[in-house]
């Protein structure tokens, strides 16, 4: 098996690394503290100019057509510096891929160049509700046909980039009489559409610079042409796109975990106790060895999932395995890195406490670790039934 990256993949990884080090790392702590949207949006615009909002989108629609492996590599590098920027980039790519996957030609020509080119600052993925998180089929938001329009009513929760996303993909029940999960459709809704309002920005534990909002729909009228794919077939679309999103979040977790361990490793060589560097103590050496081994295993799982998706093969199980392992091990890495630095790790002067806060949600969003286990187990059992 050839695990080497292509020249294009290495170029994108290097570009993301350099951008993260020069533009994101110097302001990450400030953004965490202040949630300065001017700086945040300016960096998103720069990333858009470099092609990072359409990494897996065809060139004819303004994307760079680099593939899922390149996408994973880029998200990891961005997350090493700023998880908030990485998650917004990941979700925006996810929205673009939904439109590319099932949109008609008019929809792709109209919306994808605006996402890839920056006319739309970000994309929003409106799926989760109060009764529909781990169980998306339980959503209550409705879209009722009214002539050449659909009227959407309901509310969505925990929507990344809600305050400044300019286009949303929104799931709603279009056939309330259908069997659970069978009567759901997906729509493209632009910001500013009458009847759609953005609710409060959540005060989160981490990834603070990336706003997370409620999105409300009250008699929000969208043309029938805004429907993505077939009517009542939106649930399968959501499940498929969530699998792709899990590669993004697993890659983000990997980046934060590596950043934490890299910082702690450097600290161990500088800090002295008992007249010798901390790096000389075997207990700390073993923590380094264990955590880096686990993060490397996470990287390989992510590459396998990304490559499988890129080949057009079923990748849901691989994506869930990669996301589960990467998120869990990155959490361990961040907390161990903080512990290795002792009291310094707990002080905001150092980035470890931010890494620990930023990484925590990776085992929750895009499907909790528990849900990933359910998905993996179902896939494994289906293979022998």
Contacts of 289 (CB under 8 A, 6+ apart): none
How far apart are alpha carbons 280 and 17 in whole angstroms?
30
Q: Which of 296, 310, 366, 370 is catalytic?
A: 366
How far apart are alpha carbons 263 and 231 in whole angstroms?
50
How far apart are alpha carbons 378 and 373 in whole angstroms?
8
Residue 205: strand, helix, or coil: coil
Contacts of 364 (CB under 8 A, 6+ apart): none
How far apart are alpha carbons 203 and 206 in whole angstroms?
9
Q: How far is CA 294 from CA 102, 258, 344, 348, in A?
A: 36, 10, 24, 26
Residue showing tokens 């080119």? 117
How far apart are alpha carbons 254 and 282 in whole angstroms?
25
Residue showing tokens 């470890």? 352
How far apart are alpha carbons 161 and 8 in whole angstroms?
29
Looking at residue 202, the DSSP 8-state letter turns out to be P
Contact 264, 285 (CB under 8 A): no
Q: Where are the alpha helices (DSSP H) in 165-281?
A: 234-270
Q: Is the dihedral of CA 270, 272, 275, 278 positive or negative?
A: negative
Element (H, E) at 217: strand 212-223
Q: Which two tokens stand for residue 30?
A: 């400030």
Q: How far is CA 35 from CA 123, 132, 163, 214, 250, in A?
A: 19, 28, 12, 18, 24
Q: Bridge partners of 170? A: 126, 187
Q: Is the dihedral of CA 306, 5, 10, 208 positive or negative?
A: positive
366 is catalytic: yes
Catalytic residue set:
366
């Amino acid at each position: 098996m050839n695990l080497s990256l292509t020249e294009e993949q290495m170029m994108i990884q290097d570009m993301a690394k350099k951008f993260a080090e020069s533009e994101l790392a110097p302001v990450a702590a400030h953004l965490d503290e202040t949630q300065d949207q001017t700086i945040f949006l300016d960096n998103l615009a720069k990333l858009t100019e470099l092609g990072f909002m359409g990494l897996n989108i065809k060139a004819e629609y303004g994307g760079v057509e680099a593939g899922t492996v390149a996408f994973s590599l880029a998200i990891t590098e961005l997350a090493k510096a700023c998880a908030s920027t990485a998650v917004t980039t990941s979700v925006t790519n996810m929205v673009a891929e939904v439109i590319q996957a099932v949109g008609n030609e008019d929809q792709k020509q109209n919306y994808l160049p605006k996402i890839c080119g920056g006319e739309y600052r970000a994309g929003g993925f409106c799926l989760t509700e109060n009764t529909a998180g781990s169980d998306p089929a339980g959503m209550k938001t409705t879209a009722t046909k009214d002539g050449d329009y659909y009227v959407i009513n309901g509310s969505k929760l925990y929507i990344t980039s809600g305050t400044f996303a300019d286009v949303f993909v929104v799931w709603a029940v279009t056939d309330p009489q259908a069997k659970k999960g069978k009567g759901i459709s997906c729509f493209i809704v632009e910001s500013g559409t009458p009847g759609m309002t953005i609710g409060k920005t959540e005060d989160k534990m981490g990834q603070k610079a990336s706003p997370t909002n409620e999105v409300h729909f009250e008699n929000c009228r969208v043309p029938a042409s805004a429907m993505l794919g077939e009517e009542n077939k939106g649930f399968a679309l959501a499940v498929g796109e969530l699998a792709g999103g899990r590669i993004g979040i697993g890659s983000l977790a990997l980046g934060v975990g590596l950043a934490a361990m890299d910082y702690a490793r450097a600290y161990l060589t500088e800090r002295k106790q008992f007249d010798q560097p901390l790096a000389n103590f075997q207990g700390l050496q073993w923590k380094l060895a264990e955590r880096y081994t686990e993060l490397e295993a996470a990287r390989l799982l992510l590459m396998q999932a990304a490559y499988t998706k890129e080949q057009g093969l079923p990748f849901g199980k691989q994506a869930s395995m990669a996301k589960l392992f990467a998120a869990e091990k990155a959490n361990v890495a961040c907390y161990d890195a903080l512990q290795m630095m002792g009291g310094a790790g707990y002080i905001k002067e150092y980035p470890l406490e931010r890494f620990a806060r930023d990484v925590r949600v990776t085992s929750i969003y895009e499907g909790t670790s528990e849900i990933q286990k359910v998905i993996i187990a179902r896939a494994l059992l289906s293979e022998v039934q």
